[in-house]
Amino acid sequence: MAMAIRVFLLLLFFLSSTNIGYSLFEDQVGLMDWHQQYIGKVKHALFHTQKTGRKRVLVSTEENVVASLDLRHGEIFWRHVLGTNDVVDGLDIALGKYVITLSSDGSILRAWNLPDGQMVWETSLQGSKTSKSILYISKNLKADKDDLILVFGKGSLHAVSGIDGEVLWRKDFAGESSIEVSHIIQSTDKIYAAGFVGSSKFYVYGLNADTGKLLKDDHTILPCDTFGELLSVSGDKFVVLDKMRSKILTINIKNGEISYKQKLISDLIKDSSGQAVILPSRLPELFALRIDSHVLTIKVTNEDDLVLVDKINNAAAVSDALLISEGQHAFAFIQHEGSNIHLFVKDVNDWNGDLLKESIIIDHQRGNIEKIFINNYVRTDRSYGFRALMVMEDHSLLLVQQGEIVWSREDGLASVVDVTTSELPVEKEGVSVAKVEQNLFEWLKGHVLKLKGTLMIASPEDVVAIQALRLRSSEKSKMTRDHNGFRKLLIVLTRAGKVFALHTGDGRVVWSILLHTLRKTEVCEHPVGLNIYQWQVPHHHALDENPSILVVGRCGPSLAAPAALSFIDAYTGKELNSLRLAHTIAQIIPLPYTDSTEQRLHLIIDTDQHAYLYPRTPEAIGILQREFSNVYWYSVEADNGIVRGHALKSNCIHQIVDEYCFDFRDLWSIVFPSESEKIIATVTRKSNEVVHTQAKVMTDYDVMYKYVSNNILFVANAAPKATGEIGTATPEEAWLVIYIIDTVTGRILHRMTHHGCQGPVHAVFSENWVVYHYFNLRAHRYEVSVIEVYDQSRADNKDVWKFVLGKHNLTSPISSYYRPEVTTKSQSYFFTHSVKAIEVTLTSKGITSKQLLIGTIGDQVLALDKRFLDPRRTLNPSQAEKEEGIIPLTDSLPIISQSYITHSLKVEGLRGIVTVPAKLESTSLVFAYGVDLFFTQIAPSRTYDSLTEDFSYALLLLTIVALVAAIFVTWVLSERKDLQEKWK
């Protein structure tokens, strides 16, 4: 009987352990993570709506993505994310089955298979100078004939076969008066290349289409300099503005002969006061001219005269012409009228009638329409219908058909520039947000499915049902805080100036707002979003006040551009206030102080060496004056190789008194020698990082004390010749110099040189250690190094009697002005991958072990235990070191496939990783962003402080019942045995 009990207990243990191993994989997919795919802001679009096959639209975007989208639902059929510098310049279709892309300034031509996106061929095009790029594909009517692809780039014209990408011939224009080709024209057996030399000399070259041999060339000098791009209105006619933008020049090419005419814009429209711009829309015998908020459609006659066709008010965008039948072209334009959008489709040759006129209501938070692409289809009554693909100001993509939005894509989320988080509201008493309870049958069905999963007898359909059941029953999508702190809002700022709040439970958009301070206007032509900060976090008034965030933007990439601030409610997305600043923004310093309303104080540094305090309230001034002598910050001038430390000095001396403006003084400066070093990377600790203990117990119960300070800066310098791409310098010409600097005093705490190494350098600073990644030219491998800094001034606090008698200095204040006695430990390891980003996990109390989150070149996120980067690792660790957890030394860091927290997914175009502590100490929340978004929860030391969501309570209850039954049976058998022995 005892043997039977042991076998039963072993069976129960086996079942419980198999449940733990099984529950980690397929039936947990999507429970703790989510992945969203985007493409970015569309630049080019081509419809492919043949009768056979799937209807799709082919696009290229500003995120260097080439994709095929389902025209019915907007889903991605296939996509390819090209390199960061591989910008797509042109997109077209060849042979009816290949998608042709031109990228990298006209140097790389690729063909992709239209149905599945597989690359068919790739051709590298050579050239001798930098120039604009043009992609032109001549359409042959015969299906068996090759499509000739003409490409101008790098100062050369190439003729490429559409079948295999072979370069048939090449004509170099670098020596031909340095012409900048603007257009390519093809006739039956000739090719004409037209363009400018300078801004007034117009050239035309005639080439043999088969050999590329120069047949003739002609040029003329225009009577004035030109402005803007040359626009083709037919095969041999072009229009361009003069430099003053007061005249339109019409250039005609007939058999290579050049003639031109010019006409004043004032002759076309009398009251034109604004700056004229020719829109890039390609219309046969027409072109569109924008003046202020008006768009003029102008016809070019056979005599090269210009005739005003129509004046469109409040026109937002004009499409290219679309051939709908032989000799009939249509184009579309958009008019804004409040929240309504009016879509017009007109015949180019019949302006009086409308082929289509529709009104659509579009969310004003999407902004204006920037681009429109149209496609036609045949209705059941044999008339033509039209669908329009619209690119919005917030980078979203919409398909409109029959006056309705068929689908939309939030592709602005492909260009996230900064991220912060916000807590969700507390669930108030009497307000239940729980879902309706399931009925008894569903409850029983769910438990049967879970039991089948526990016993490993679930079919694939059952696994899908279990996953769907868990997703439905999960509380992760509630709009209130949870006990473990897993539910939060990820508030992201995009390049378009739009702010999104994403729920960490499922990644849905809770709210979004397009900030008016970051919209393109006449005052602010090139707005850019800079950063997003937590502005007000009302911990003590969480039930009746909402937190708010601060968004900082600028009207241009230059530091001298005007700046703007926006304050947004974190729960509703409502803009509470906005400010157009009279000063510039060079740096933003969040201070560790809050006022009575729990608004955080910020210093904004301008380019004129002034510091401005926000919020601008008397209470904030009072707080700053009390802490005046404790405010320090630093600035890095990478171009000049200077790091400076600053402190506040006094109020600004202006003609108008501003009590919130302060002058500051330079406390120290470090000037690196420009002939030998150049700053390539800097990193410091996160201000919200929590350090659990300063002491670190070593082998044999020895203790070392971490040097923990928020005022430490890591600086990586490279040799001037080693600042470029890998391979541009020899090992003898390359070196990295690493500094750890105290930013209050400017004291260099540690300096180290890596000879034969170069950047790029990616680093992360946490507690008392820094980890950085670089390339070793001598070993031809990437390396990762670690430096740990320890405080020697507390090394004497190891005597127990000193603690008993109180003769220790552990409670004495730490000041950067005291010369620290520090020691460092360092070690380097080889690493397999190139790196895009490095981050470290954060937990609420800092107790849990750290993991490094490494964004690899393959756009995945690898979790690497910090113990692998312990500088005290040795080849043969002692028994005490093994007990401490020190891993034996190897020259390379291990890459374990199970350590990828993104699993088999990719975060295409990975740019950054953000970690956020949960309330549960074991768990850290991770958000990775690029073209895609990815979110997950990780537990570096496992979930030692909680049970997992899928913990089998039924199996636990079964185990308890079985143990109680076994105890009872054993007791009965034991009593019977004792009774029998007594009767003997």
Mean pLDDT within 392-413: 93
| Confidence category of residue 842, pLDDT binned at 50, 70, 90 | very high
What pLDDT does residue 523 have? 72
What pLDDT does residue 462 have? 76
pLDDT(807) > 70: no
For the chain, what percent of residues have pLDDT higher than 70? Answer: 88
Residue 363, burial from CB neighbour count under 10 angstroms (0-12, 13-18, 19+): middle
Q: 515 and 498 in contact (C-beta within 8 Å)?
A: yes
| SS3 at position 174 | coil
The pTM assigned to this predicted structure is 0.87
| Confidence category of residue 792, pLDDT binned at 50, 70, 90 | confident
Q: Work out the mean pLDDT of the chain and round it to a whole number.
A: 85
pLDDT(29) > 60: no
Residue 368, burial from CB neighbour count under 10 angstroms (0-12, 13-18, 19+): middle
Q: 498 and 412 in contact (C-beta within 8 Å)?
A: yes
How would you list the strands of the sheet with 88-94, edge to edge?
Answer: 88-94, 98-103, 108-113, 119-124
CA distances from 950 to 32, 475, 776, 937 (A): 11, 13, 46, 15
Mean pLDDT within 240-262: 86
Spatial separation of the C-alpha atoms in residues 698 and 683, rounded to whole Å: 28
Q: Provide the residue count of the chain.
A: 984
pLDDT(873) > 50: yes
What pLDDT does residue 440 have? 56
What pLDDT does residue 25 have? 46
pLDDT(20) > 90: no
What pLDDT does residue 671 have? 94
| Confidence category of residue 328, pLDDT binned at 50, 70, 90 | confident
For the chain, what percent of residues have pLDDT higher than 90? Answer: 41
Residue 412: name the closest of 933, 959, 960 by CA. 933
Domain boundaries, the chain: 430-467, 680-806+816-831, 952-978
pLDDT(801) > 50: yes
What pLDDT does residue 548 have? 93
Residue 211: phi and psi, rounded to 5, are -115, -20
pLDDT(78) > 70: yes
pLDDT(27) > 50: no
pLDDT(97) > 70: yes
Q: How many CA atoms lie within 13 A of 79 on its CB side?
A: 24
Spatial separation of the C-alpha atoms in residues 569 and 472, rounded to whole Å: 29
Region of poorest pLDDT, from 13-22, 346-355, 389-398: 13-22
What pLDDT does residue 977 have? 86
Residue 666: name the closest of 652, 638, 647, 642 by CA. 647
**What confidence tens digit (pLDDT) does each residue in 438-491 have?**
455 666 676 677 777 766 777 777 777 776 666 555 567 788 888 888 899 999
Region of poorest pLDDT, from 52-66, 474-488, 692-706, 830-844: 692-706
**What confidence tens digit (pLDDT) does each residue in 855-867 have?**
999 999 999 999 9
Spatial separation of the C-alpha atoms in residues 889 and 873, rounded to whole Å: 5
What pairs with residue 46 in β-bridges?
58
CA distances from 723 to 224, 757, 760 (A): 43, 10, 8
What pLDDT does residue 489 have? 94
Mean pLDDT within 362-366: 88
pLDDT(15) > 60: no
pLDDT(838) > 70: yes
Region of poorest pLDDT, from 253-262, 265-274, 302-311: 265-274
| Confidence category of residue 748, pLDDT binned at 50, 70, 90 | very high
Q: 865 and 886 in contact (C-beta within 8 Å)?
A: no
**What confidence tens digit (pLDDT) does each residue in 604-618 have?**
999 888 999 999 999
HEC secondary structure over 904-946: CCCCCCCCEEEEEECCCCCCEEEEEECCCEEEEEECCCCCCCC
DSSP characters for 682-737?
EEE--TT---S-SEEE-GGG-EEEB---TTEEEEEEE-GGGSSSTTSS-GGG-EEE
What pLDDT does residue 437 have? 39
